[in-house]
């Protein structure tokens, strides 16, 4: 009598977030002032979140500020903390504007065009998450 064991296969997800568009914002303004300017311009209510982006390295723990509105439509995350940079490949970018839900390229284009009107914002760039090879990119999504 031949007793064959039935093979069961399980699929394990990678745990990586779905690709998304996000904006890189260049501005010399501090994060709290930039959030006020964006609030006035877009009519949102960005507020400092209790959940900063935290990175622990051998040199120590770095906290990158996060501002989110009540509806969590997007997050404004600082790309700099002291002398550290959250996304090293984007060291010239001061802030990251990350969508909270599913947003397509057209919505990112519209938001970028609107933000470019604010005089204190020097530049706004649109990035695709799949094009940025950085291990900290997954920390941007809440």
| Predicted confidence (pLDDT) per residue in 22-31, tens digit | 899 999 999 9
Task: Dump pLDDT digits (tens) for 115-126.
Answer: 999 999 999 999
The C-alpha R_g of the chain, in whole angstroms, comes to: 19
Helices (H) and strands (E) in the chain, counts: 2, 10
pTM value?
Answer: 0.81
């Amino acid at each position: 009598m031949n007793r064959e064991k039935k093979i069961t296969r399980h699929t394990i997800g990678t745990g990586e977030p779905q690709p998304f568009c996000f904006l890189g914002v260049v501005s010399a303004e501090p994060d709290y002032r930039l959030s006020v300017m964006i609030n006035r311009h877009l009519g949102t209510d960005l507020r400092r979140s209790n959940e900063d982006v935290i990175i622990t390295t051998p040199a120590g723990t770095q906290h990158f500020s996060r501002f989110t509105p009540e509806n969590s439509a997007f997050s404004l995350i600082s790309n700099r903390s002291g002398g550290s940079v959250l996304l090293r490949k984007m060291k010239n970018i001061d802030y990251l504007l990350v969508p909270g839900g599913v947003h397509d390229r057209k919505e990112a284009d519209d938001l970028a065009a609107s933000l470019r009107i604010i005089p204190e914002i020097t530049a706004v760039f649109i990035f695709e998450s799949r094009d940025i090879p950085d291990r900290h990119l997954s920390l941007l999504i809440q």
